[in-house]
Amino acid sequence: MQVFAMLLAVTETQWLSPDERAAWVRFTAVLELLPAALDLQLSQDAGMTHFDYFTLAMLSEAPDRVLRTSALAARTNATLPRLSRVLSRLEAAGFVDRAPDEDDRRATNVTLTEAGWEKVVETAPGHVAAVRRLVIDSLAPEQVTQLSAISTALLRQLDPEGRMLATDNDSHEQH
Amino acid sequence: MQVFAMLLAVTETQWLSPDERAAWVRFTAVLELLPAALDLQLSQDAGMTHFDYFTLAMLSEAPDRVLRTSALAARTNATLPRLSRVLSRLEAAGFVDRAPDEDDRRATNVTLTEAGWEKVVETAPGHVAAVRRLVIDSLAPEQVTQLSAISTALLRQLDPEGRMLATDNDSHEQH
DNA sequence: CCCGTTTAGTTGTAGATGCAAGTTTTCGCT
DNA sequence: AGCGAAAACTTGCATCTACAACTAAACGGG
């Protein structure tokens, strides 16, 4: 019985086919290199990380450019400790304001300041250009469509609740 | 003239179409979540990061399970300082040995120890299962093919010299 | 109305990473 | 040969992040 179980266990290990393996190796390389490339452009041209920029960008798209810290954490997929420190930095730089929520004073409302808005506006073109150069323009139009579908499929596993694709409704949920 | 130049500048900024933007937002989410998910599985099941595992895996596939530090850095896309510290850790854990190259004593040869090999062998099944669960099995077979082609196209921009897709020839280059 | 529990954030501490500077060995040129 | 420049790491320092512990506010019975 024990030998049989071991054989089963070994057999159960589903390895990757050569094609799957090749796809995975290449994709792993992209996973490693693309974030670094994006961070490089933003740190050179705007003195901030991709995460900083993304945080400001999410705020800039929120109604009234305000979001609760935890809603912002969901959109940026950050842990609360991480976001807390990033916000401290962005607040010190004058790009956001933090104020306790009037209705629930445990919560903090994060507001994009005028300076923060301007920072996004002046940083966005260069960032978009980098995204074009590194990603969109490297792909055929149908590949962009494919990448979108593939990403959607992957997010079903990675983010079943769709935190990162949250609509604006979320900020108006019941409490 | 100045107004005209400004208009040009504004016009030149190539924004993303709605489809492109949707693809990019989703892909960004994958870029953030997938590495974290892989790290989580490996740290829980094997007590190491994905980078540690990948480093050992690259060594395990090298001829004689030996690679120069800089060749390993190219395959893992690590900077030398980063790899140096990771190797110090892996060496302390007994998974690799480091020894100066006999022909060029500036260089260091990194060897996977027997313990390191066993670590890879016992860790690989769980990791492959995670890759299957999170990526391969979420996709239709043709999507795996598409992802491979897309990744190849992106790497042309990200890694023009193909460092991460290096063949074994590299370690036998002239000196 | 009060107390234990949950929620929302912040901070202490330790590990990881990048950049820049330092060290040792080799190369290239005269 | 002989010496300046380059190569292959390694280490110092500053920053970033995660995990866990901590604080403050709100909820939920009894």
**Contact between A134 and B154 using a beta-carbon 8 Å cutoff:** yes
Q: What is the least distance, in Å, from the CA of A72 to any CA of chain B?
A: 14
B28 CA, C27 C1': separation in Å?
45
Task: Report the distance separating Cα B42 and Cα B45, nearest Å.
Answer: 5
Assess if CATH 1.10.10.10 describes domain A37-148: yes
A32 in contact with chain B, both atoms CB, cutoff 8 A: yes
Instruction: Show me where the domains of chain A are located.
Output: 37-148
In the predicted model, residues of chain A with pLDDT beneath 50 are 7, 167-175
B150 half-sphere exposure, CB direction, 13 A CA radius: 28
Residue A170 confidence (pLDDT) = 39
pLDDT in tens, A122-158: 999 999 999 999 999 999 999 999 999 999 999 999 9
| Chain B residue numbers touching A148 (CB-CB < 8 A) | 19, 22-23, 26-27
User: What local confidence, expressed as pLDDT, does residue B10 receive?
Assistant: 52
Nucleotide nearest to A80 (CA to C1'): C9
B153 close to A (CB below 8 A): yes
Question: Nearest protein residue to C16's C1' (by CA)?
Answer: B82
3-state secondary structure B16-75: CCHHHHHHHHHHHHHHHHHHHHHHHHHHHHHCCCHHHHHHHHHHHHCHHHEEEHHHHHHH
CB distance A19 to B148 below 8 Å = yes
| Nearest CB partner across the interface for B146, out of A25, A133, A146 | A146
**Contact yes or no for A33 and B155 at CB 8 A:** yes
Task: Count A/B contacts: CB-CB distance under 8 Å.
Answer: 163
Please tell me the class of the B34-163 domain.
mainly alpha
Show the low-confidence residues of chain B (pLDDT under 70): 1-13, 162-175
Distance CA A87, CA A97 (A): 9
* Phi, psi dihedrals of residue A100, rounded to the nearest 5°: -60, 145
What pLDDT shows up at residue B175?
A: 32
Give the sign of the dihedral formed by CA B162, CA B164, CA B168, CA B170. positive
Q: Which of A30, A54, A156 sits opposite B154 (nearest CB)?
A: A30
Residue in chain A closest to B23 (alpha carbons) equals A148
Closest residue in A to B15 (Cα–Cα): A128
Smallest Cβ–Cβ distance between A15 and the set B15, B27, B128 belongs to B128
* Per-residue flag: A88 CB under 7 A of strand C: yes
The SS3 call for residue A84 is: helix
Percentage of chain B beyond pLDDT 70 is 85
Q: Which stretch of DSSP H or E encloses residue A108?
A: strand A108-112
